A and B are shown apart, each in its own frame.
Chain A
Amino acid sequence: MKAVTQLLLGLSALLGASAASAAVIAITGATVHTLDDQGTLAQGTVLVRDGVIEAVGTDLALPADATVIDGTGMVLTPGLLAPLSDVGLVEVSGVASTNDQRLKDVAVGPAFSVRHGVNRYSVLFGVARTGGVTRALAGPTPGPGVFAGFGSVLRLDGAPGVVTGPDRIMVAALGEPGADRAGGSRAQALQTLLRGFEEAARYSRSSDLARRGLASGFSLPYYDLEALKRVREDDVPLWVHVDRAADIEALLAATEDLELTLVIVGGAEAWRVAPALAERKIPVVLDPLGNLPESFDRLGARLDNATLLHEAGVTIAFNELTGHEVRELRQYAGNAVAQGVPWDVALAAITRVPAALWGEEDRLGRIARGYAADLVLWTGDPLELTSWARWTMIEGQIFEPASRQLQLRDRYVEPTTRLAPPAPKP
């Protein structure tokens, strides 16, 4: 019961690996942030069976077959979720041959889907898990066009079938990056986006026969029209990179009558448009540290953007990050708290809210009965950078801290002048 370490050592020995799973696991004694109706439990118990959370409470009877982990003095949260990232698509950012998140010059627009390029053997998965991140949406970066393509939800255990949510979002770019892709004007970027949906609507209304003879009437190829048709008809959310308030306002005005589910990504000046975003129920995936006026799209950038949006009733999530950076999610949330965002709202912005934005609100992002057993046991307040993840659980499987980085650390803990293997024993 007492023996967290013993248990884990035992399991590790049994499985010969750092990942461990048992059919029934009870975590007791920890402060449990459920992100659900139960709020925070001071000394909660979470019961996991076959990878799913079975019960959450304070006085739960533990089944006889449960493996018990004592979390006393520690903090349990849902696994952290990176709402938009390139994890699994990029191994070394500066090495183009390892980068599968963007197209350079192929004429595929919205039809581009990253889901076939995900590398579940990536060393980034172990680094992300060690930092408490259990899932990420792997999305495309805008390539040659205004539409970047579909992004997919990944489970970061590295097991077969890591793409659990294929093509969950469509990504596009407006503002300065959009202008770069639409001939040089922000105005044309928005028109290109609107024209895509106009053509997709017309395409939807066409008969099969007409679609087959698509020689004229459409500027987009059939596969891109099919993609935008899916966005419209299957209600795939359109995530738009846009920072400048004027561009957000233009987007809102132009899409008033379109049945699109919009999410703003970036939104450095979104605070200026907060009431309209709240009214239209448009969430913002923002960088709560993005206060630099780095471009003319961001002159209104400020450190309390998240606070102002939250107070206006806008749903906020943190944060677009590269795959290498996803372990920094909690730093963004912690800083948002320092700028006035309530603590539980900041934690939700890296757990419950991304799950909802992915359409997974019934399965991910909370510690509640029926939810996937994605949990992190922290040594302290998870938003404090001096805390660390004691372990990370994905669908009931426990991952001890383990990564290529930690192997490098352990190799060089003591000064090493010889890296040659030791002489064979006689």
Chain B
Amino acid sequence: MRRRKLSLGLAPALWALGALAWAETSPPSYYEADPSRAGAEVRGAGPLPYSSRYAPAASGAVLLKDATVLLGDGGRLDEGDVLFDAGRIVAVGAELTAPPEAEVIDAAGRWVTPGLIDVHSHLGDYPSPGVEAHSDGNEATAPVTARVWAEHSVWPQDPQFPLALMGGITTLQILPGSANLVGGRGVTLKNVPARSVMDMKFPGAPHSLKMACGENPKRVYGRRRSAPSTRMGNVAGYRESWIKARAYQAKLDEAAASGEALPDRDLEMETLAGVLRGEILIHNHCYRADEMLIMLDIAREFDYKITAFHHATEAYKIADVLAEEGVCGALWADWWGFKMESNDAIEENIALMEKAGACAIVHSDSARDIQRLNQEGAKALMAAQRMGLPYDEALAIRWLTQNAAQALGIADQTGVLAPGLMADVVLWSGNPFSVYSRAERVWIDGTLHYAAGEGGVRPTTDFDLAQTPAGRGEASR
């Protein structure tokens, strides 16, 4: 009560001051500031809602000098320089000259990589603390929920976002869980502090659609004595959905051709038809080799593309097929044996995908491992080297950067240190594949979002206030 009285007493004065300040500085309204709303639209249903309102802060020039630079595309520079300005990479090379106003950082002995990208995360949808009230990742009320969008569950104050940033994660895809055959749309985010998920959305990144094979959907629904309860029931469920989606798309095409009325809007169908048109990328949770091959058969039947199989603990058994079909594998380095379909996981999964020429990605699916995705990469590199494959850090970093960007449809924007691309950059204390190395600085679009050490820069979520000790994400001394 006392607090309420106090605020009542002070409010008018503060309000007056605030109004004055507002009148003088008057930034563009929150909605007008949206940089990327123009153009996109829902097929036949007006402008695309929920587009990105992410606007990177203005940033100046930064020159990192004399670092070991892993470019992200397999290239490496020793004693290399990286120059970025106004949010974009300007140049990568030797002996670069800094503009006069640039911040110059002596990075001798340290390593630079593109910002790491995790293509499989549930941050914000399954935040910490993991209490029931926070469980927003699976709309497990029907086996096909293409109508839901993971972004609408994202809690931007999840204290796990800053911890991932301290591990060098600049971009991450938030996916619905795997309870459903078709779980809903995923979203690609910049790992920046924000009041709304819309302020984190990666501008222009395509939506994804999460699908799931195998044990999870048939277990969740089978226990309720409803379909699916078997793997064959799973497949029937996918096919029935695509049959409906094909019919819906045909109606859209007919309406466009004839000028007649469009069919009624249908959120389920808008998503599935978006996949058929190639606008939405399929990210398919699927462990077993035989099931992945069946999913590829379904994609052939209905003429859509699978962008990536996730988890895919048996990808190594069909790496040749995945290479030929151009399907990425988003993989763990060493998770295994936690259920039947992960029982044949091996440490060389990523290595054997690479060996076959397939697109291999290190993913986390974990609020723990996302903080150390580089170490998961180190494990995969070890397994490759143990079997005599000639892989090195320059190649391995692709599993966490360029290949991940490719799977998210943003490889022309980030994932490689190349002129013109987003200045998503990590400065590491040493070799990022060493267990002792730490991200020292992380820039997103050229803005410094994390700097380790005393007097450093680190985001703090609302949740963190008064209940997060120093040392949560890095040693306090």
**Chain A interface (Cβ within 8 Å of chain B)?**
91-95, 124, 127, 289, 291-296, 298-305, 307-308, 322, 324, 327-328, 331, 334-335, 337-340, 383-388, 401, 405-406, 408-409, 412-413, 415-416
Contact = CB atoms under 8 A, between A and B. Distances in A.
Interface centre among A298, A300, A328, A338 (most CB of B within 10 A): A338
B382 A409 contact: no
Interface centre among B343, B368, B470 (most CB of A within 10 A): B343
A247 B128 CA distance: 20
A324 B320 CA distance: 28
B319 interface: yes
A101 to B, nearest CB: 14
B382 A387 contact: yes
B435 A409 contact: no
Interface in B384-431: 385-387
Interface of B: 128-131, 159-160, 163, 215, 316-317, 319-320, 334, 336-340, 343-348, 352, 356, 367-368, 371-372, 375, 378-379, 381-382, 385-387, 433-438, 463, 467-477
Contacts of B352: 409, 412-413
A335 B337 contact: no
Contact of B435 (A300, A322, A338, A415): A338
Contacts of B471: 302-305, 308
Contacts of B477: 304, 340
B339 A294 contact: no
Contacts of A304: 471, 474-477
A340 B436 CA distance: 10
A293 B475 contact: no
Contacts of B336: 127, 324, 405
Nearest to A339: B475
Given A293-B129, A383-B435, A385-B382, A327 B334 contact: yes
Contacts of B437: 338
Given A385-B435, A405-B346, A94 B340 contact: yes
Nearest to A291: B472
Nearest to B386: A388
A384 B334 contact: no
A413 B356 CA distance: 9
Interface centre among B334, B336, B356, B435 (most CB of A within 10 A): B435
A291 B463 CA distance: 15
12 contacts: A93-B339, A292-B367, A295-B131, A296-B131, A300-B467, A302-B470, A302-B476, A338-B437, A384-B434, A384-B435, A408-B346, A412-B316
A412 B317 contact: yes
B368 A295 contact: no
Contacts of A92: 337-340, 343
B381 A303 contact: no
A401 B386 CA distance: 10
B160 to A, nearest CB: 7
Nearest to B341: A94
Contact of A386 (B130, B346, B381, B463): B381
Interface of B is mostly: loop
Given A340-B475, A408-B346, A415 B320 contact: yes
Contacts of B337: 91-93, 124, 324
A292 B368 contact: yes
A162 B433 CA distance: 36
B346 A94 contact: no
B396 to A, nearest CB: 10
Contacts of B467: 293, 299-300
Contacts of A405: 336, 345-347
B372 A335 contact: yes
A355 to B, nearest CB: 23
A415 B344 contact: no
A26 to B, nearest CB: 25
A411 to B, nearest CB: 9
A299 B371 CA distance: 18
Contact of A292 (B128, B215, B375, B434): B128
Contacts of B348: 409
The 7 A-B pairs at the shortest CB distance, nearest first, are namely: A334-B435, A94-B339, A415-B320, A302-B471, A385-B378, A304-B475, A324-B337
A126 to B, nearest CB: 12
A331 B375 contact: yes
B339 A292 contact: no
Contact of A307 (B215, B344, B386, B475): B475
B337 to A, nearest CB: 4
B326 to A, nearest CB: 16
A127 B344 CA distance: 12
A324 B317 contact: no
Interface centre among A93, A94, A307, A406 (most CB of B within 10 A): A94
B372 A292 contact: no
Contacts of A299: 129, 467-468
Contact of B338 (A94, A308, A383): A94
A218 B400 CA distance: 59
Contact of A293 (B128, B339, B371, B476): B128
Contacts of A409: 316, 346-348, 352, 387
Contacts of A337: 435-436
Contacts of B379: 331, 385
A304 B166 CA distance: 14
A410 to B, nearest CB: 9
A17 B240 CA distance: 52
A94 B128 CA distance: 23
A415 B319 contact: yes
Nearest to A91: B337
Contacts of B128: 292-294
A388 B475 contact: no
A295 B135 CA distance: 13
Nearest to B436: A338
A334 B372 CA distance: 12
A335 B476 contact: no
Contacts of A127: 336
A324 B340 CA distance: 13
Nearest to A323: B337
Contact of A95 (B334, B340, B472): B340
Contacts of B159: 293
B351 to A, nearest CB: 9
A210 to B, nearest CB: 47
A303 B368 contact: no
Given A296-B129, A405-B336, A303 B382 contact: no
Interface centre among A294, A307, A406 (most CB of B within 10 A): A294
Interface centre among B334, B367, B469 (most CB of A within 10 A): B469
A294 B344 CA distance: 29
Nearest to B351: A409
B282 to A, nearest CB: 24
Contacts of B368: 289, 292
Contact of A408 (B344, B433, B468, B469): B344
Nearest to A327: B334
B349 to A, nearest CB: 9
Nearest to A407: B346
Interface centre among B375, B467, B473 (most CB of A within 10 A): B375
A413 B386 CA distance: 13
Contacts of B382: 385-388
B274 to A, nearest CB: 33
Contacts of A327: 334
